[in-house]
Structure 1
Amino acid sequence: MASTIQALPTEVVYLITAGEVIDSFASVVRELVENSLDAGATRIVVYLWPQQWRVHVTDNGCGMNLEDLQQAATAHSTSKIRSSDDLWKINSLGFRGEALHSLTTLAEVEILSRPLGKSGWRVVYGNGGKAMQVEATAIAPGTVVAVANLFGNCSSRRQGLPTTAQQMKAVQATIHQIALCHPQVTWQVWQNDRQWFTICPAGTTGQLLPQILNQVRQGDLQEVKLELSHPPNSLLNLVIGLPDRCHRHRPDWVRVAINRRMVNSPEIEQAILSAFHRTLPRDRYPICILHLAISPEQINWNRNPAKTEIYLNEISYWQEQITQVIDQALRISPTNIKESVHTTRVSKLLKAAETKGGYNFNPQNFNEDHKTFNSLKAVAQVSNTYIVVEHPGGMWLVEQHIAHERVLYEQLCDEWQLVPIEPPTILYQLSPAQVSQLQRIGLDIEPFGEQLWAVRTLPAMLQQRDDCAEAILELSWGGDLQTAQVAVACRSAIRNGTPMNLQEMQTLLDNWQRTRNPRTCPHGRPIYLSLEESALARFFRRNWVIGKSHGI
């Protein structure tokens, strides 16, 4: 019997490879702009004509000489690696040598390029990447790649693609992701000869993000950079949306980048989500962009053609480091106490105050002794609900109940203490599910008669309360241990409407400052409102010239 296994023809192999690398407009743009970035470009312009199946990418990178241009599109030709050992030392975005060759298999490709101080050349490539036409050309230093008739020889591929609008949305998302990893680059994108969008360069990813996520302001973000000694020369850059100011309905802005490329890393993404647990409202997700710059030996990029999935060494170590950095970024400390003002909330508050004619609060025992510096200093109580707080950058309003709730919740998380009670608390007509729930969170409960149950232990915080029975019933209605801890903290916290003296307020502030996640309560509500001194100065027109304000 004749063998049915045969080697594939070269042109079939090339088509298979091309289908893995180039499958959409977004993949064309991604591969070409990554080449531009590898060439050191600081300005990249993308032109798209989707109905004509054309893409042009222009950059001001280092350019290519004639010899490199003639080899650029041949199969597996690259300047990035030389041997198998180099696969463990990859510092570039591209390294496979497949993208340009795949494009010549699926489209008409020409490249114009000129290194600084040398002549420019134009090369037209045939199927398979061979240089078919070569001529000198006038061009500014840099490179222009022109792709036409994309998927022209694969009509079924064109029919299988999403709508034009969906493809352009994917292109925009691709450029946004790459821009966040290279904030110093200027981007300009045109569609059908009209300017579509631009991205101006920024010093950091956090400074660039508001251009991409329009509803986020600079003051809503916290950016942290941390140099790590292990692995050597590692850098962790973290941009988070402060949980009391911004969050999302979906986890679509939990992004992970490694060595200037966005990647899919479910393990790291889960560590990020876990670090924000009980800091956001229910069914809301954080804004977080994590960028790791680590030694190439720690990464295996050779996992799939798009290079979005990787093998990362010591994943548990990175999860631990990321959790610690996020915890630190969410705390209140002298280094991050002076923040941008909550623009929207403050403007509404000031307008309301101006309309009603004043803030109308009575200071209690204002302490004028500034010899002992305290970063947060209790000044007064408003409506027996809000604590007026002075700090070096202005003032805050802190809601006393949810601030205390955050303190108690973290104490309960650290030490969930159940204590015996005598006599036991008697509950009537509990369902089997309620009994099971109380047993699940550790309470000692047993039958005490017909439809009666005796609870012999309960959380220590509830021991002295008059409403123990109601509190235990609340715990019986379901949820895990953390849900129970939130319920106990909420019930035990200082109620709004409770008068507090200055010392009680200061003790609460001191305890609250030391919590791990002081910006929001366990339900995700913001605990404090910041009124910076500069905002107060604008409201009271302190920048006016006195003479002019008198009409002189």
Structure 2
Amino acid sequence: MLNIIQLLPDSIANQIAAGEVVQRPASVVKELLENAVDAGAKSLQVIIRDAGRTLVQIIDDGSGMSETDARMSFERHATSKIRSSDDLFRIRTMGFRGEALASIAAVAQVEMRTRRADEELGTLIRIEGSEIKAQEMVSCLPGTNILVKNLFFNVPARRNFLKSNSVEMRHILDEFQRVALAHPEVGFSLFHNDQEVYNLVAGKLSRRIIDMFGKSYREQLAFCEEETPYVKVRGYIGKPESARKARGDQFFFVNNRFIKHNYLHHAVIGAYEGTLPEGSHPFYVLFIEIDPSHIDINIHPTKTEIKFDDERSVYAIVMAAVRKAVGIYNLSPSLDFESDVNFLDGGGSSNAIERHFAPAENKPKPLTPSWSEAKPAASAPRKAPAGNWQAMFEGLATPETPARGKDVFPSEISADWLGPALAPPPAESQLDAPETNSAQTEPEAVTVGSRANKLVNELPDLQTTEDAILQVQNRYLLVPVKSGLMIIDQRRAYERILYDQFHAALSRRNGVAQQLLFPKTVTVSPVDFQLALDLRDELTSLGFQFDELGQNTFVIRGVPAMTTGENEEELFANLLAQLREETGRLKLERAEVLARSLARRSAGRHTVTLSPTERKALVDQLFGATNPSYTPAGEPVTTVLTLDKIAGLFKS
């Protein structure tokens, strides 16, 4: 019988390795940037075309390579950083496996020029699909200039799995940010399609954070430091009032290597206990220094996941460091920004605590129901308020609608008169689909005998006036019903109502904009700037009106009318941050993600005291929503304590 096991050709083996190391253009950027940092570069230039599909170029002024090293760098598992197995437990460099260049060269056309400072000539190497096309001596600057062209040119199936240019560019920007934050002592610049995206000068970490994320972070940062014989923690955290609803601005670095670690993130959130708004996530850039022998970084191809030999101790120290910083800020809310700590010399000072005077918080305005904003003209046909199911079914009088008995309904009434509470529900598959009927389409008639009765059976039979609706801790509404007591989560109710309104505006592209008397300017990160441009049509449909005003800056001229009363700059910036998170996490259409994000963002400000009329309006609007029982994310909005349950609470 013939032997059937054989060694794979190097080209195929490299392509298999590339499947783990090179997942998208951002993977190439990450690996090449880390190589340049390991080479001692003090200045790095990144040039991208078509979101990395056609070109990723990294130019550095590092140590460069000899002719032999340049050739060997493209061999599998060829590395200058490991000589024995013991070295695996002393790794402090970014790369060490020797897979990056070999994997990249297996799925792209690569051209590299490199020269040592003490040599007159450098080396040029051209490789396509692991096959060397040329190697010669050339005149070039000291350092390394590497071009990766036409990624996945020989693996079209992999190329087809790439996302849109805007999505791929956001991944590139994420990787660029991580490396640039880890090394503030190195100057970085980034160009995309000949436009400058970043130009970061070498300096202190605080300067790097502000240059990268915007000047608004200058007032948000608080220095954080804790040192023990086992581990050191240093960095900056965001002050509690600057926390955002979306995650994404949280960075952990272990020995200057970016990592993802949910366990340590939990430690940070725990340190903020009692100071953060519900559902908010603080900004932080935290550096953990630990003996490499206490960690294992060789558990994931991208090296973003690590293991500690004593996670509990690291958890406790991180929490203590952040808790101390939060406590000092609360006691001394003023900042000497110029007294900064430079992490490059390994020193630190507990005096580098940044403080500021927090602005007074504007009290959010309750959501005003659309039917209460204006009275219809005397000559106009009178319509019942949308969602006024209580008056319809029980004959209760309201200021807007006279009392009606159940026997006065005609046999058929238009859905427009009944309002959304009685309108036929859309099919499940149509909940997120664009509206197909034009504005001129006549509303479909419904039969009260079937539709109204069905609604009465589906919804709790509320028998109350507005004075009977109680509010608890600005968070819950207690509504008496025949079967017992209904509890409504106030914030989630607003989220459901706002989601329906935003989604309808997106579907019909008729969102109402509230013009700003004085336009506002907002500077966002390059990632969010690209995202806003990508979603310009959808944002405009909601009611946002904005124009580009220089690099990473917009001027806001209008906001959705339903968000009136919010800080316009924060609304726009925080919405983009949340969109960035949910776009990558949820497989949803743009309109769905945008409506969800803005609804969640805006609902948080509605945990305020409501008047009896506002409580009644909220209940009316909730049961006029498409799904009053759940938020768009599936969280329950209402629950009913039946009389039996209540009686059970008093049993001895």
TM superposition score category, shorter chain reference? 0.5 to 0.7
Q: In structure 2, the residue corresponding to 1:126 is in which secondary structure? A: strand
2:190 corresponds to: 189
Inter-partner Cα distance in structure 1 for 2:60 and 2:160: 31
Q: What pairs up with 1:114-129 in 2 under 5 angstroms?
A: 114-126=115-127, 129=130
1:277 aligns with 2:278: no
Asked if structure 2 preserves the Cα contact closer than 8 Å seen for 1:247 and 1:286, the reply is yes
Question: How has the CA–CA distance of structure 1 residues 119 and 290 changed in structure 2, closer, same or farther, with 3 Å as cutoff?
Answer: same
Identify unmatched segments of 5+ residues in structure 1: 342-392, 400-469, 480-522, 525-552
How far is the alpha carbon of 1:397 from its aligned partner? 10
The partner residue of 1:243 within 240, 251, 256 is: 240
Inter-partner Cα distance in structure 2 for 1:172 and 1:394: 30
How far is the alpha carbon of 1:10 from its aligned partner? 4.1
Q: In structure 2, the residue corresponding to 1:75 is in which secondary structure? A: coil
2:312 corresponds to: 316
How far is the alpha carbon of 1:8 from its aligned partner? 4.4
TM-score (norm 1): 0.59
Question: How has the CA–CA distance of structure 1 residues 171 and 22 changed in structure 2, closer, same or farther, with 3 Å as cutoff?
Answer: same
2:229 corresponds to: 229
Q: In structure 1, the residue corresponding to 2:214 is in which secondary structure? A: coil
TM-score (norm 2): 0.50
Inter-partner Cα distance in structure 1 for 2:276 and 2:356: 26
Inter-partner Cα distance in structure 2 for 1:137 and 1:33: 23
Asked if structure 1 preserves the Cα contact closer than 8 Å seen for 2:109 and 2:129, the reply is no
Inter-partner Cα distance in structure 1 for 2:36 and 2:303: 17
- Letter of the 1:134 counterpart: Q
2:155 corresponds to: 154
Inter-partner Cα distance in structure 1 for 2:6 and 2:359: 76
1:71 corresponds to: 72
Inter-partner Cα distance in structure 1 for 2:245 and 2:200: 25
Question: How has the CA–CA distance of structure 1 residues 281 and 188 changed in structure 2, closer, same or farther, with 3 Å as cutoff?
Answer: same
How far is the alpha carbon of 1:163 from its aligned partner? 0.6
Question: How has the CA–CA distance of structure 1 residues 297 and 24 changed in structure 2, closer, same or farther, with 3 Å as cutoff?
Answer: same
Inter-partner Cα distance in structure 2 for 1:321 and 1:203: 24
Question: How has the CA–CA distance of structure 1 residues 186 and 397 changed in structure 2, closer, same or farther, with 3 Å as cutoff?
Answer: closer
Q: CA RMSD in A?
A: 3.3
How far is the alpha carbon of 1:105 from its aligned partner? 0.8
How far is the alpha carbon of 1:248 from its aligned partner? 0.9
Inter-partner Cα distance in structure 1 for 2:227 and 2:136: 49
Inter-partner Cα distance in structure 2 for 1:45 and 1:396: 38
Inter-partner Cα distance in structure 1 for 2:64 and 2:356: 52
Q: In structure 2, the residue corresponding to 1:235 is in which secondary structure? A: strand
Inter-partner Cα distance in structure 1 for 2:118 and 2:185: 24
1:136 aligns with 2:137: yes
Inter-partner Cα distance in structure 2 for 1:109 and 1:36: 16
Asked if structure 1 preserves the Cα contact closer than 8 Å seen for 2:46 and 2:58, the reply is yes
Identify unmatched segments of 5+ residues in structure 2: 338-354, 362-471, 479-484, 488-603, 606-652
Q: Which deviations, in whole Å up to 9, do the C-alpha atoms of 1:350-373 show, x marking residues without a partner?
A: xxxxxxxxxxxxxxxxxxxxxxxx
Inter-partner Cα distance in structure 2 for 1:119 and 1:62: 14
Asked if structure 1 preserves the Cα contact closer than 8 Å seen for 2:191 and 2:198, the reply is yes
Q: Which deviations, in whole Å up to 9, do the C-alpha atoms of 1:375-414 show, x marking residues without a partner?
A: xxxxxxxxxxxxxxxxxx9999999xxxxxxxxxxxxxxx
1:35 corresponds to: 35
Q: In structure 2, the residue corresponding to 1:17 is in which secondary structure? A: helix
Moved more, 220-229 or 170-179: 220-229
How far is the alpha carbon of 1:13 from its aligned partner? 2.2
Question: How has the CA–CA distance of structure 1 residues 228 and 38 changed in structure 2, closer, same or farther, with 3 Å as cutoff?
Answer: same
Q: Which deviations, in whole Å up to 9, do the C-alpha atoms of 1:83-102 show, x marking residues without a partner?
A: 22211111100001011111
Asked if structure 2 preserves the Cα contact closer than 8 Å seen for 1:74 and 1:130, the reply is no
Inter-partner Cα distance in structure 2 for 1:335 and 1:184: 32
1:25 corresponds to: 25
Question: How has the CA–CA distance of structure 1 residues 209 and 333 changed in structure 2, closer, same or farther, with 3 Å as cutoff?
Answer: closer
Asked if structure 1 preserves the Cα contact closer than 8 Å seen for 2:237 and 2:285, the reply is yes
Inter-partner Cα distance in structure 2 for 1:6 and 1:131: 24
- Letter of the 1:275 counterpart: A
Question: How has the CA–CA distance of structure 1 residues 113 and 5 changed in structure 2, closer, same or farther, with 3 Å as cutoff?
Answer: closer
1:48 corresponds to: 48
How far is the alpha carbon of 1:269 from its aligned partner? 0.9
Q: What pairs up with 1:512-527 in 2 under 5 angstroms?
A: none
The partner residue of 1:290 within 281, 286, 291 is: 286
1:306 corresponds to: 302
Inter-partner Cα distance in structure 2 for 1:41 and 1:478: 64
Aligned length: 354
2:13 corresponds to: 13
Q: In structure 2, the residue corresponding to 1:226 is in which secondary structure? A: strand
Question: How has the CA–CA distance of structure 1 residues 8 and 114 changed in structure 2, closer, same or farther, with 3 Å as cutoff?
Answer: closer
Inter-partner Cα distance in structure 2 for 1:283 and 1:156: 40
Inter-partner Cα distance in structure 1 for 2:227 and 2:174: 29
2:165 corresponds to: 164
Q: What pairs up with 1:387-426 in 2 under 5 angstroms?
A: none
How far is the alpha carbon of 1:22 from its aligned partner? 0.9
- Letter of the 2:92 counterpart: N
Inter-partner Cα distance in structure 1 for 2:105 and 2:187: 28
Asked if structure 2 preserves the Cα contact closer than 8 Å seen for 1:178 and 1:262, the reply is yes
Inter-partner Cα distance in structure 2 for 1:213 and 1:270: 23
Inter-partner Cα distance in structure 1 for 2:331 and 2:40: 35
The partner residue of 1:260 within 244, 247, 256 is: 256
1:178 corresponds to: 179
2:529 corresponds to: none
How far is the alpha carbon of 1:59 from its aligned partner? 0.4
Q: Which deviations, in whole Å up to 9, do the C-alpha atoms of 1:9-63 show, x marking residues without a partner?
A: 5433221101111111100010001000001111100111227611110001111
Asked if structure 2 preserves the Cα contact closer than 8 Å seen for 1:70 and 1:131, the reply is no
Inter-partner Cα distance in structure 2 for 1:179 and 1:83: 30
Q: In structure 2, the residue corresponding to 1:140 is in which secondary structure? A: coil
How far is the alpha carbon of 1:209 from its aligned partner? 1.3
Inter-partner Cα distance in structure 1 for 2:89 and 2:356: 51
Question: How has the CA–CA distance of structure 1 residues 397 and 286 changed in structure 2, closer, same or farther, with 3 Å as cutoff?
Answer: closer
Task: Using the aligned pairs only, state the percent identity.
Answer: 29
Question: How has the CA–CA distance of structure 1 residues 13 and 67 changed in structure 2, closer, same or farther, with 3 Å as cutoff?
Answer: closer
How far is the alpha carbon of 1:126 from its aligned partner? 3.4
